[in-house]
Amino acid sequence: MNDAAPVRFVAKNMRVDLELIAGMIAPGSRVLDIGCGDGALIDHLFRTRECDARGIEIDMAEVTRAVAHGLPVMQGDADTDLTHYPDDAFDYVVLSRTLQAVGRPREVLRQMLRIGTRAIVSFPNFGHWSLRWQLLTTGRMPMTKTWGRMWYETPNIHPCTIRDFFSLCDEEGYRVETWLAADDAGRHAPWRRAPMLANLFGEQGLFLLRRDHRAFRA
């Protein structure tokens, strides 16, 4: 890894994420991918599912790469730029392995479910057993492939666990339509119905959320 590279996001394991997320999206949908990187998901959705998929990415080099590949991507910041979109502009708003790096995750989620009917959120699970084990045995911040930067320079300023995320959805009144936990290779079967186990063995959590209209009635 090049240490001089600007620190912003963890390296994305797009291949695993892309397949899982794409599987949740209905063909022909309007999709906004926040933190879209070089636009691999957008490209995939456009080519295989005929979606009107667009992206926002903060890293200008990635944006240039995406646009130079003909993908509709704009440079922008999840924390500040979602407020400019109208309500219900998209069927799905995707935030793939980026939630832990934004300044105000709760506000970003609110915006996602304002401008989109559904939100798809994936994040690396800080409750994974290997992280717990490292913290327990060494008493230092865990270092893994995903959590590979020192605490003072990590872009991942808001790590959370799968159980944390369930609890936030509950507080905010988001309905979890589907969820799964996956390991590094994208396998997700064993912990499907057991959040406690998923929180221990899942390398990442993936959620399909929908605005719960009951929460807005008051």
Partner 1 sequence: MDQSPFPEIAHLHETFTEGLDLDCGAHLAQIDIAYRTYGTLNADRSNAVLVCHALTGDQYVAETHPLTGKPAWWGAMVGAGKPVDTDRYFVICSNVLGGCMGSTGPRSRSDQNVGEPWGTLFPPVTIQDMVRAQKKLIDRLGISRLFAVIGGSMGGMQALAWASLFPESVFAAVPVATAAHHSAQNIAFHEVGRQAIFADPDFHGGRYWAHGVIPARGLAVARMTAHITYLSEAALTRKFGRRLQGGDVLSPILFGERFAVESYLEHQGSSFVRRFDANSYLCITRAMDFFDLAADHGGSLGAAFRGSKTRFLLVSFSSDWLFPTAESRTIARALNQAAANVSFVEIVSDKGHDAFLLDEPDFHRTIAGFLGGAAEAAGLA
Q: How far is the CB of 148 from partner 1 (least distance, A)?
A: 27
Q: How far is the CB of 72 from partner 1 (least distance, A)?
A: 5
Residues 183-212 that bind partner 1 (CB under 8 A): none
Residues 51-90 that bind partner 1 (CB under 8 A): 52, 54, 60, 63-64, 67-76, 81, 84-86, 89
76 to 27, 80, 117: CA distances (angstroms): 26, 8, 21
Instruction: Determine if residue 173 is left, alpha or beta; phi over 0 gives left, psi from -120 to 50 gives alpha, anything else beta.
Output: left
What are 98's two structure tokens?
């980026």
Q: How far is the CB of 107 from partner 1 (least distance, A)?
A: 17
Residues 88-147 that bind partner 1 (CB under 8 A): 89
Q: Which is nearer to partner 1, 72 or 186 (CB)?
A: 72
46 to 13, 27, 173: CA distances (angstroms): 20, 9, 31
Residue 161: closest CA among 96, 112, 99, 93: 99
Residue 153: closest CA among 139, 164, 162, 143: 143
Q: Which is nearer to partner 1, 54 or 118 (CB)?
A: 54
Contacts with partner 1, residue ranges (CB under 8 A): 52, 54, 60, 63-64, 67-76, 81, 84-86, 89
